[in-house]
Amino acid sequence: MATEVLPQRRGWTLHRPTATTGVWSWITTVDHKRIGILYGVTAFVMFLAGGVEALLLRVQLATPENNFISAETYNQLFTMHGTTMIFLVIMPLSAAFFNYFLPLQIGARDVAFPRLNAFSYWVFLAGGIFMYTSFFLGGAPNGGWFGYAPLNTEGGVLDVVRTHNMDFWVLGLIILGIASTVSAVNLLVTIINMRAPGMTFMRMPVFTWMTFVVQFLLVFALPIITVALFELLFDRLFGTNFFNVLNGGDPVLWQHLFWLFGHPEVYILILPAMGIVSEILPVFSRKPLFGYAVVVFSGIAIGFMGWGVWAHHMFAVGLGPVANSAFALSTMFIAVPTGVKIFNWLATMWGGDLRFKTPMLFAIGFVAMFTIGGLSGVTHAIVPHDTQQTDTYYIVAHFHYVLFGGAIFGLFGGAYFWWPKITGKLLNERIGKANFWLMFLGFNLTFAPFHILGLEGMARRTHTYPEGMGWDFWNMVSTVGAFLIAVSVAVFMWNVMRTRTKGEVAGDDPWDGRSLEWSISSPPPAHNFDEIPEVHEVDDFWHKKYAEDEHGRLAPAVAGGAGYGPSEAHAGGHGDGEHGGHEAIHMPSPSYYPAFTAIGFPLLAWGLIFSPALIVIGAAILLGGLYGWALEPSAE
Amino acid sequence: MSVQAAAHAEHPATNTGMSNVKVGMWGFLASECLLFGALISTYLLYRGRVGQAGGPIPHDVYDIPFTSVSSFVLLMSSLTMVLALAAIQRGDERRLRVWLVATALLGMVFISGQVYEFSTFVEEGLTLKTNVASTAFFVLTGFHGAHVSIGILMLLSLWGISHQGKLPPSRSEAVELVGLYWHFVDIVWIVIFTLVYLVPAPAGAGGG
């Protein structure tokens, strides 16, 4: 065979797709911006699913001795609510922002491996769909979002052991782990290798920095839970003994492996939102971030220390006083870099020219709510205190304050902040403010009562509770609050729909931004930057726009200092990347293979549960996809 | 703060100078370290434990001389892998294919040894399900065997691509990447062989 590597291929490899609009263009896209949008839309749909599950739980708990849903359904719903919100909402919503803005913030034209990037998305989607098919194939996972073995292995709770429900959970998480690992390696390489000239590490925007830390956490944390999941899977499917106590298994091994992943995971969920907030606050305070280097190093410190605190999830296990004390200390200690960040955000606002636009409201909401959640978190570090709180609603209150009041508020702030860059249109301010205040009110009504309920002894994961425990009032308040959150989400969706037709055109730089993404048109052209920018300092774009006069006040930069060359001339409206003079910019071609290959994973997983034939088909698709991918011609 | 003054200053490096794929491979291997780390930790926790199930532990059935030989074979495959890379880097595509096949063959010998070893153990009463020590042993070494097998597939794929004339010296990095993976899998085996086979079982552990 002497065929050259040319567009003409032998029959069995597909040509590279050419569609630029329509469904196929989205399925075959390798553009990091489109993949970011796909992540965002999918995660939002999952957010609605997880939200509906939460509403059903709250209706059930609104009154004592309620029978709105059965105990078994309740188990499935709280398991899927937790799993959905963590793995199918917050992680991919963060990934949406990573994908869209990381290359823009570092001045790159795409991520390091565009096809792998598409692959990550499609595998994530396949994993999510796979997990949700459980509702139609015998019942959804019902063992809680941390799936404790040996409760769900031989000798455990029969309903959980003898059904396939938790198999969906185990296999689904393995698939999602593959998606996240691939994506993490991809983004790591992008940050390490593809920064624009002059974009040194200590000039990167804080969102990029937090993204960087999160990818390290993902690369190192995911294989640990992957191993735990395989051990659990083998126990459940093949009768191995990892968690079989009779045959020598250790009942605590699962908890160690799970939380050794699970605590870094907590920072995987919150650091992206911290990064977003660190972008929003300076822009709407018209001040540089206070203590840039300290904020960055706090993020890194959190990333490191996050590996040494996992056993605070296990204080009630009985690890002994020495282990408990050590982890209590490390847990209190990790509050320090977190507190440092909070004070930096406050100092950023202090004396600033504050503009309370919707993104700013969400960012301030984040700081306030996250502080409350952080403080209740510190109370868990005190072992005797934690022993009282374990498995009560106090814990539920804590992690909703950090994950909803923290991560979700930050991500909504990011959505309002970057919406004009992604779509070219501003979300409506008045509706946005209504969105924020409704969500803020609903959130606190829902979750603040959990503190009281927990301290009064209400156990989490209970299907119902008797009358006369003193829990009736606060449970009803919480349910009302949950519906208020639902209204606020509906308001957000209305805002989005309205903006599509009536939205105000944003222009390139509606907020007077500081980082590189604001220097290009909205939405950005396919190749991002007409000319790769040169970076000279932190907040480089800001310094291109402004200088200081002799009194230290802001003044417009001297002529010629603004913008990054030709892109300024193209301001507004170019989305196609085909304007004159830039045809030479080579962008990666779309490909069928990432989406095709991803189909193999859920087929394999269904096959493991139901039928060996599906395993064969899934493996064939996977292998065929990988080979086709590897041999795919590089150009159209 | 003058932007203009800094405008023409030399920029410090904003990449590693390594290609993206190579940095990516290192990132993937870093992740793999934790995968094997978790599996090895599980094994170390469980070695010598049988619970009420009783039965032999892996140490009762090891054939150390046999496994030493197959370990030696696997380590030698790292040498042939290096020779393959050296061949393509100096433009010798024929030698490249010879050494790729040699590496794959050595890998296959190792895998055959593992299959033989596993079947002997099963005959002697040590199966995947015997007790927790046997479970941990088979799953850890099995995961390693799966990694070696995937490596063999990659080596044979490289051989096929080279055979079609599509692996010119300008694309030698593909060989280098597979080599990184191959060496990693070898190094993991050194750790496994030492910790799992050579370190004696805890005193009083296991049955007959």
- pLDDT of residue B1 exceeding 80: no
CA distance A628 to A497: 40
Q: Does the model's pTM come out above 0.80? A: yes
Mutate to test the interface with B, among A237, A253, A536, A541 (most CBs of B within 10 A): A536
Encoded tokens for A338: 């977190």
How far apart CA B22 and CA A112 sit, in angstroms, is 11
B interface mutation test: which of A116, A208, A247 has the most B CBs within 10 A? A247
Cis status of the peptide bond prior to A150, with omega within 30 of 0: yes
What is the reported pLDDT for A584?
65
Query: Under DSSP, is residue A320 helix (H, G, I), strand (E, B) or coil?
Result: coil
What are the backbone dihedrals phi and psi of residue B139, each rounded to the nearest 5 degrees, phi first?
Answer: -70, -40
Q: Is A532 on the interface with B (CB under 8 A)?
A: no
3-class SS of residue A546: strand
Predicted pLDDT of residue A581? 45
First to last CA, chain B: 78
Q: Which of A9, A178, A191, A193 to mutate to test the interface with B (most CBs of B within 10 A)?
A: A193
- For residue A217, give every residue at least 6 positions away whose Cβ sits within 8 Å of its Cβ, in sequence order, or none: A264, A265, A267, A268, A271, A303, A306
The phi and psi torsions of A428 (rounded to 5 degrees) equal -65, 135
Q: Which of A2, A198, A222 sits opposite B11 (nearest CB)?
A: A198
Q: Does A59 touch chain B (CB under 8 A)?
A: no
What pLDDT shows up at residue A583? 53
With an 8 Å Cβ cutoff, are A1 and B30 in contact?
no
Q: Which of A248, A537, A561 is the closest to B51 by Cβ? A: A248
Q: How many CB atoms lie within 10 A of CB B143?
A: 16
Largest CA distance in chain A: 84
Indicate whether B59 pLDDT > 80.
yes
Using the beta-carbon criterion (under 8 Å), do A194 and B139 form an inter-chain contact?
no
pLDDT value at position A636?
A: 41
Contacts across the A-B interface (CB distance below 8 Å): 153
Residue B44 CB neighbours (<10 A):
14
Chain A: give the shortest CA distance to residue B109, in Å: 24
pLDDT of amino acid B12: 82
Find residues 512-531 of chain A whose CB sits inside 8 Å of chain B: none
Q: Convert A615-626 into a string of H (helix), E (strand) and C (coil).
A: HHHHHHHHHHHH
Residue B2 has pLDDT above 60, yes or no: no
User: By CA distance, what is B139's nearest residue in A?
Assistant: A231
Q: Output the pLDDT for position A78.
A: 97
**In this complex, is the C-beta atom of A533 within 8 Å of any C-beta atom belonging to chain B?**
no
Could A548 and B136 be called an inter-chain contact, meaning their C-beta atoms sit closer than 8 Å?
no
Q: Are strands A554-556 and A546-548 parallel, antiparallel or unpaired?
A: antiparallel
Cα A293 to Cα A296: distance, rounded to the nearest angstrom: 5
Can you state the angle between helices A612-631 and B132-163, rounded to 10 degrees?
A: 40
Q: Do A112 and B49 touch (CB under 8 A)?
A: no
Strands A504-505 and A546-548: unpaired
Instruction: Let me know: does A112 contact A105? Beta carbons within 8 Å.
Output: no
ipTM: 0.93
Instruction: Give A199 to chain B, closest Cα distance, Å.
Output: 6
Q: Quick: pLDDT tens for B98-134.
A: 999 999 999 999 999 999 999 999 999 999 999 999 9
CB–CB of A193 and B133 under 8 A? no
Residue A274, helix vs strand vs coil: helix
> Testing the interface with A: which of B8, B31, B35 to mutate, by most A Cβ within 10 A?
B31
- Contact: A561, B3; criterion CB under 8 Å: yes
Q: How much is the average pLDDT of B139-152?
A: 98
Burial A500-523 (b: 16+ CB within 10 A, else e): eeebeebebbbbebbbbbbbbbbb
Gap from B161 CA to chain A (nearest CA, Å) = 9
Q: What is the pLDDT at residue A552?
A: 73
Q: Which residue of B has its CA nearest to A201?
A: B14
Q: Which two tokens stand for residue B196?
A: 């799992």
A348: Cβ–Cβ under 8 A, 6 or more apart, which residues?
A281, A282, A285, A287, A288, A289, A290
Q: Which pairs count as long-range contacts for A3-8, CB under 8 Å and 24+ apart, including other chains? A: A3/B164, A5/A633, A5/A634, A5/B166, A6/A633, A7/A633, A7/A635, A7/A636
In this prediction, residue B207 carries a pLDDT of 46
Tell me phi and psi for residue A229, to 5 degrees.
-65, -40
Task: Tell me the two tokens of residue A208.
Answer: 């990029």
Task: Locate the chain B residue with the closest alpha carbon to A187.
Answer: B24
Whether A249 and chain B come into contact, CB under 8 Å, resolves to yes
Residue A53 identity (one-letter amino acid): E
**CB contacts, 8 Å: A249 with chain B:** 46, 51, 132
Question: Nearest-CA distance from B82 to chain A in Å?
Answer: 23
**DSSP assignments along chain B, one per residue:** --HHHHHTSPPPP-S-SS-HHHHHHHHHHHHHHHHHHHHHHHHHHHTT--GGG----HHHH--HHHHHHHHHHHHHHHHHHHHHHHHHHTT-HHHHHHHHHHHHHHHHHHHHHHHHHHHHHHHTT--TTS-HHHHHHHHHHHHHHHHHHHHHHHHHHHHHHHHTT---GGGHHHHHHHHHHHHHHHHHHHHHIIIIIISPPPTT-S--
Instruction: Give the CA angle between residues A297, A299, A302 to the nearest 5°.
Output: 110
> Coil, helix or strand for A426?
strand
Cα B148 from Cα B129, distance rounded (Å): 23
Q: Do A241 and B24 touch (CB under 8 A)?
A: no
Q: What angle do CA B26, B28, B34 make, to 5 degrees?
A: 105
Q: Is B36 exposed, middle or buried (0-12, 13-18, 19+ CB in 10 A)?
A: buried
How distant is the Cα of B132 from the closest Cα of chain A, in angstroms? 5
* 3-class SS string, A509-543: CCCCCCCHHHHCCCCCCCCCCCCCCCCCCCCHHHH
Interatomic CA distance for residues A489 and A511, integer angstroms: 24
Q: How far off is chain B from A182, nearest CA to CA, in Å?
A: 8
CA A26 – CA A122 distance, rounded (Å): 11
Q: From the CA of B6, how many Å to the nearest CA of chain A?
A: 7
Cα separation, A166 vs A609, whole angstroms: 11
Give the pLDDT score at A571. Answer: 38
Spatial contact of B193 and B85, defined as CB atoms under 8 Å apart: no
Pick from A212, A241, A252 the residue to mutate for testing the B interface (most B CBs within 10 Å).
A241
CB-nearest partner of B34 from A112, A184, A220: A220
Put simply, whether A586 touches B (Cβ < 8 Å) is no
Residues 591-630 of A with CB under 8 A from B: 627, 630
Judged by DSSP in three states, A504 sits in strand
Report the residue of chain B nearest A233, measured CA to CA: B139
Residues of B in contact with A196 (CB under 8 A): 14
Supply the pLDDT for residue B10: 66
Q: Is A351 on the interface with B (CB under 8 A)?
A: no
> Closest to A112 (Cβ–Cβ): which among B20, B31, B49?
B20
Distance from CA of B39 to the nearest CA of A (A): 7
Q: Which of B14, B43, B150 to mutate to test the interface with A (most CBs of A within 10 A)?
A: B14
Inspect the interface and report whether the beta carbons of B24 and A200 lie closer than 8 Å: no
| Rounded Cα–Cα distance for residues A280 and A298 (Å) | 18
Amino acid at A478: S
Contact B45 A250 (CB under 8 A): yes
Q: How far apart are CA B49 and CA B43, in angstroms?
A: 10
Please, what are the averages of pLDDT over each run of 10 residues along chain A (636 residues)?
A: 42 67 91 97 98 98 96 96 98 97 96 96 98 95 92 81 92 97 97 95 96 97 97 94 92 95 96 97 96 96 95 94 95 95 97 96 98 94 93 96 97 98 96 98 98 96 93 97 98 96 93 95 93 92 86 70 45 39 72 95 96 96 93 67
Residues 380-409, chain A, touching B (beta carbon < 8 A): none
Contact A241 B30 (CB under 8 A): no
- The SS3 call for residue A95 is helix
Find the farthest-apart pair of alpha carbons in chain B and give their distance in angstroms, rounded. 80
Question: In this structure, are residues A268 and A307 in contact, taking their beta carbons and an 8 Å threshold?
Answer: no
